[in-house]
Structure 1
Amino acid sequence: MPIEGIFVSGFVNLLFGKMTSFASSKLPTFEGIDTQLTNWTNMLSQIEAFLIDAEEKQLTDRAVNLWLDDLQDLAYDLDDLVDEFATEALQHKLKAKQPQASSSKVWNLIPNFKPRDVLFNFKMKSKIEEINTRLHNSFEQCSKLNLVKIVGTTPTPTTKTWQRPDSTSLFDEPHIYGREYDQRKIIELLVRGDESSHNNIGVIPIVGMGGIGKTTLAQMVYNDETVQKHFDLKAWVCVSDEFNIMRITKAILESVTSQTFSFNNLDQVQVQLKQALAGKKFLIVLDDVWNKKYSDWNVLKKPFNDGAQGSKVVVTTRDREVAGMMTTVELHEVNILSKEDCWSLFAQHAFANTCIDANPKLVSIGKEIVEKCKGLPLAARTLGGLLRSKVRDEEWINVLRSKIWDLPHTKSDILPALRLSYHDLPSHLKQCFAYCSIIPNDYEFEEEELVLLWMAEGFIQQQRDKQMEDVGGEYFRELLSRSFFQPSRTGKSSKFVMHDLINDLAQVVARETCFRLEDILKYPEQCKTIKKARHSSYMREQYEGMKKFEIFNKAMHLRTFLPFNLPSFLPFNLPYGVNCHLASNVPFNLLPKLRRLRVLNMSSYDIIEVPNSVGDLKHLRYLNLSNTNIEELPESLGSLYNLQTLMLRGCRQLKKLPTDLGNLIDLRHLDTTNAHSLKEMPLGIGKLASLQTLSNFIVTKDNGHWLRELGNLIYLRGKLCLSGLQNVVVPLDAREANLNDKKGLDVLSMEWSVNSDDSRDGRVETKVLDMLQPHKNLKELHIEGYLGIGFPNWIGDPLFSNMADLSLDNCGNCVSLPPLGQLPSLKKLYIKGMSVLKHVDHEFYGQGSAKPFQLLETLSFKDMPEWEYWYTFEDDKEVEPFTHVSELSIRSQRSSTIHSCQVSLHNKMSQTS
Structure 2
Amino acid sequence: MVAEVFLGAFLQLLLDRLTPHHDLLNLARLHGVDKKLKKWSPALSAIGAVLQDAEDKQLKSEAVKLWLDELKHLAFDMDDILDTFSTELLRRNVMNQQHAWLTSKVRGAKFNFNMNSEIKEISDRLVEISERKDLLGLNYVVNKCSQVWQRPPSSCVLDGPVVGRDDDKRKIVEVLLRDDQPSSVNFHVVAIVGMPGLGKTTIAGHVFNDDAMERFSPKVWVSVSDNFNLVRVTKAILESVTSARCDLEEFSQIQEILSKALASKKFLVVLDDVWNTCDYDLWAKLQSAFRGGALGSKVIVTTRDTQVAKMMRSIEVHNLGCMSDDDCWEVFGQHAFLNVENGRLQSFELFREKVVAKCGGLPLAARVLGGLLGCKEIDEWEEILNSKLWSLCDNSGILPVLKLSYHYLSSNLKRCFAYCSILPNDYEFGERQLILLWMAEGLIQQSHECKQLEDLGSNYFRELLSRSLFQRSSKNHSQFVMHDLVGDLSRWAAGDMCFRLEDKLDVRCSSKVRHSSYIPGQFDGVQKFKEFFEVC
TM-score of Structure 1 vs Structure 2, range by shorter chain? 0.5 to 0.7
C-alpha change, 1:434 and 1:323, in structure 2 (3 Å) is closer
| Alpha-carbon displacement from aligned partner over 1:157-204 (angstroms, at most 9, x marks no partner) | xxxxxxxxxxxxxxxxxxx99442799xxxxxxxxxxxxxxxxxxxxx
Structure whose residues are more often strand by fraction: 1
Q: Relative contact order (alpha carbons < 8 A, sep ≥ 6): 1 or 2 greater?
A: 2
Say yes or no: does 1:122 pair with 2:121. no
SS in 2 for 1:117: helix
Q: CA deviation at 1:546?
A: 2.3
* Paired residues for 1:681-696 under 5 Å: none
- Structure 1 residue 441: deviation in Å? 1.2
Equivalent residue for 2:506, pick from 508, 514, 523: 523
- 2:457 counterpart residue number: 472
In the other structure, the counterpart of 1:89 is 89
Instruction: Give 2:325's aligned residue.
Output: 219
In 2: Cα distance, 1:58 partner to 1:288 partner: 36
Q: Residues 577-618 of structure 1, C-alpha deviation per residue, up to 9 Å, x if partnerless?
A: xxxxxxxxxxxxxxxxxxxxxxxxxxxxxxxxxxxxxxxxxx
Q: 2:22 corresponds to which letter in structure 1?
A: A
SS at match of 1:87: helix
- The alpha carbon displacement at 1:61 in A equals 3.2
Partner in structure 2 of residue 499 of structure 1: 483
Q: Under a length normalisation based on structure 2, what TM-score does the superposition of the two structures give?
A: 0.54
Q: Which residue of 1 aligns with 2:368?
A: 318
1:539 aligns with 2:519: yes
Name the amino acid aligned to 2:49: A
Q: 1:49 deviation in Å?
A: 1.0
Identity of paired residues, percent?
41
CA–CA distance in 1 between the matches of 2:348 and 2:19? 50
Matched, 1:131 2:122: yes
**Aligned position for 2:32:** 32
Asked if 1:150 corresponds to 2:150, the answer is: no
Correspondence for 1:484 among 469, 483, 499? 469
Shift of 1:500: 1.9
Q: Report the counterpart of residue 344 of structure 1 in structure 2.
A: none
Which amino acid letter does the alignment assign opposite residue 18 of structure 1?
A: R
Per the alignment, residue 419 of structure 1 pairs with 403
How has the CA–CA distance of structure 1 residues 448 and 12 changed in structure 2, closer, same or farther, with 3 Å as cutoff? Answer: same
Q: State the distance in 1 between where 2:399 and 2:486 align.
A: 9
Letter matched to residue 32 of structure 2: G
User: By how many angstroms is 1:53 displaced?
Assistant: 2.0
Whole-Å separation in 2 of the counterparts to 1:435 and 1:5: 16
**Equivalence map 1:376-775=2 (5 Å):** 415-465=399-449, 466-490=451-475, 492-518=476-502, 522-523=505-506, 526-527=508-509, 530-542=510-522, 544-556=524-536
TM-score scaled by length of structure 1: 0.33
Name the counterpart of 1:15: 14
* Larger Cα-atom Rg: 1
Q: Deviations over 1:207-236 (max 9, x none)?
A: xx96559995453569xxxxxxxxxxxxxx
CA distance in 1, matches of 2:528, 2:331: 53
Q: 1:54 to 1:4 in 2, by over 3 A?
A: closer
Aligned length: 344
Letter of the structure 2 residue corresponding to residue 487 of structure 1 = R
Structure 2 gaps of 5+ residues are 147-162, 171-195, 203-320, 350-362, 377-391
CA separation in 2, counterparts of 1:40 and 1:4? 20
Alignment deviations for residues 81-137 of structure 1 (CA, whole Å, 9 cap, x no partner): 111123223323433x45527x779x9xxxxxx998222212222101110011111
- Which moves more between the two structures, 122-131 or 415-424? 415-424
Give the unaligned 5+ runs of structure 1.
Answer: 108-113, 156-175, 184-208, 223-237, 239-284, 305-314, 327-407, 557-913
Q: Deviations over 1:640-693 (max 9, x none)?
A: xxxxxxxxxxxxxxxxxxxxxxxxxxxxxxxxxxxxxxxxxxxxxxxxxxxxxx
Contact 1:485 1:499 in 2 (8 A): yes
Instruction: State how far apart, in whole Å, the 2-side matches of 1:221 and 1:544 are.
Output: 47
- Runs of 4+ in structure 1 deviating by more than 4 angstroms, as ranges, are 2-6, 25-29, 151-155, 176-179, 209-216, 285-304, 319-326, 408-414
* CA offset digits 1:614-638 (Å, max 9, x no partner): xxxxxxxxxxxxxxxxxxxxxxxxx
2 CA distance for matches of 1:150 and 1:138?
19
Whether the 8 Å contact between 1:28 and 1:90 is mirrored in structure 2 is: no
- Pairwise CA RMSD: 4.5
Is the 1:9–1:48 Cα contact (8 Å) retained in structure 2?
yes
Contact 1:428/1:459, CA 8 A, preserved across alignment = yes
Which residue is equivalent to 2:228? none
The superposition leaves residues 291-320 of structure 1 with CA deviations (integer Å, 9 ceiling, x where unpaired) of 78969998774699xxxxxxxxxx954367
The 1:502–1:26 alpha-carbon spacing in structure 2 relative to 1, beyond 3 Å, is closer
1:317 touches 1:323 (CA, 8 Å); kept in 2? no
1: CA distance, partners of 2:116 / 2:455:
38
Contact 2:498 2:513 (C-alpha < 8 Å) held by counterparts: yes
Distance 1:57 1:477, change over 3 A: farther
Counterpart selection for 1:180 from 156, 167, 170: 167
Relative to structure 1, the CA distance from residue 50 to residue 66 in structure 2 (aligned partners, 3 Å threshold; closer, same or farther) is: same
Shift of residue 548 of structure 1?
A: 1.6
1-structure distance, mates of 2:25, 2:125: 29
